[in-house]
Amino acid sequence: MPTITDFMSKDHRSCDELLVAVERAVVNLSWEQARRAFLPFRTSMLQHFAAEESILFPAFERGTGMYRGPTQVMRAEHAQMRQLLAAVESALAEEEADDYAGNAETLLIMMQQHNVKEENVLYPMCDQHLAAQVAVLLSELQQELAARPEEGA
């Protein structure tokens, strides 16, 4: 049976792969290519956050009664990553290699730490507490993420 953990972890990997394309372009100082590669990465990250914040987190909170627990922490981290996405985008627009490197490294570290928390704590809790709703939630999450651009688009 499909799980929230498997589905959302796979989405994390998809976002990671899109970031690799940006990194490769920057290493080659192909700024235009980096800016083009950044667009699907940013869109995918924002769609991932939106799916969690509009579907998964509210379902978890209703199902567990935990409104000030892990979902509150994840929302705060999403806000920080949104700011870092904007800083990375600005550095790409200005072709500022040092600004890009610093902000991208911070974003990557934050993404990795965030994903570990979700994949090892929050998503398994969702699978456990929302077992009766998993099929419906997966369908809703899949719909929310369906508009994602393809890698390299």
What are 120-130's pLDDT values in tens digits? Answer: 999 999 999 99
CA distance 141 to 137: 6
Encoding tokens for residue 117? 């928390």
CA distance 91 to 96: 5
Distance of CA 149 to the CA centre of its chain: 14
CATH number at residue 92: 1.20.120
Transcribe 79-119 into DSSP letters. Answer: HHHHHHHHHHHHHHHHT-HHHHHHHHHHHHHHHHHHHHHII
pTM over 0.95: no
Mean pLDDT for 42-56 is 97
Residue 118 has pLDDT above 70, yes or no: yes
The answer to whether position 153 is within a domain reads no
The answer to whether position 108 is within a domain reads yes
The answer to whether position 151 is within a domain reads no
Report how many domains make up the chain: 1
The answer to whether position 54 is within a domain reads yes
Mean pLDDT for 52-59 is 97
* Structural domain span for residue 97: 4-145
Looking at every residue in the chain, the average pLDDT score rounds to 94
Mean pLDDT for 43-47 is 96
The answer to whether position 58 is within a domain reads yes
The answer to whether position 150 is within a domain reads no
| Per-residue model confidence as pLDDT tens digits over 59-85 | 999 999 999 899 999 999 999 999 999
Encoding tokens for residue 127? 């699978």
The answer to whether position 92 is within a domain reads yes
